[in-house]
Amino acid sequence: MKLFKKITKTKIIFKLRNYLNIKPTELNSLFVKKEYSISDAFLWRTDNSYKTYFKFTDLLKLFFNKEGTSINIIICDKNLKEIKRIQISKIEISNQFLIDKNLLNGLEDYGVFYIFHNTKEKIKSSLRNSCYTGFSYQDSLPSFVHGNCPATYMKFDNQKFNIKSIKSSQDIVGFSLFKKQKYKVQKYFKDFSKTEIFLNNPTLKKIKVSISNNNFYINAGCSKIIDTTNYKQIEIISNCYFLRPIVFNYKNNFLDVHHG
């Protein structure tokens, strides 16, 4: 009996259950062992005069009183191609990081970035960074939203952090063979002048997505911003178990960014 339970909790059984939609597990962090830093896939935008602010905390200092910690950041475009790799060695308890077109050599686009805590000391735990990202549209005050969902992970002492490591570790969010997963945004959008939604595929596989009978695919780890201005309600159907959007609502000069 113990052997059977042990087998049912293996990674291959979890993936098979999700794939066949048999008692699926939407988010599975059981395979993320101790000594790992878990990162969300945070959206950045520099298109249409956007600037992106990221506020993060030194969690290793705050919770474990560790000194000499650092932060590794990997910025990728919407196709999960690495653009920039940054290491910040001197951090405070509370920090802010700016992504604008000047940082990205004039690039006006969007994508995701990942942040990993780094220490050489042994810690018998793992940490998830789900801090706040703010979006300033045409120099307006930024609208902040916290992390969307855990996407990938890396060891605390991994100095050779790279996009290959990220791609191989995107197995927290489950996906299915069947396009039956529904995510309905609990908001009515009729009175807004413009609405966009941002989607990131947090899985290892290409996923199928439908929004109001408009069908498309998103490759593994890739992202897409969709103009949904003419939609009064938004329902997302896919074979990803947790495809939660980030919503951008515009009303004249007012911008509100929030989770779906």
Residue that has been written with the tokens 């969690």 in this structure:
59
Inter-CA distances, 112 with 79, 124, 143, 214, Å: 9, 29, 17, 24
Residue 45: its pLDDT value, please? 98
Question: Model confidence over 117-126: pLDDT tens digits?
Answer: 988 888 888 8
The beta-strand segments (E) located in 126-189 are 127-129, 132-137, 143-146, 150-155, 181-184
Could you tell me the pTM of the whole model? 0.87
Residue 7: its pLDDT value, please? 45
Phi–psi pair at 236, nearest 5 degrees: -105, 125
Residue 4: its pLDDT value, please? 42
Contacts within 8 Å (CB) and 24+ apart, 158-161: 158/72, 158/116, 158/118, 159/118, 161/72, 161/74, 161/85, 161/116
Q: How many other C-beta atoms are found inside a 10 Å radius of the C-beta of residue 173?
A: 26
Instruction: Average pLDDT across each block of 10 residues of the chain; the chain has 260 residues. List them in order.
Output: 49 58 60 79 96 94 89 94 91 94 96 92 85 93 90 81 74 76 84 93 91 91 94 89 90 88
Residue 30 CB burial class (10 angstroms; 0-12, 13-18, ≥19):
exposed
Residue 155: its pLDDT value, please? 86
Residue 75: its pLDDT value, please? 96
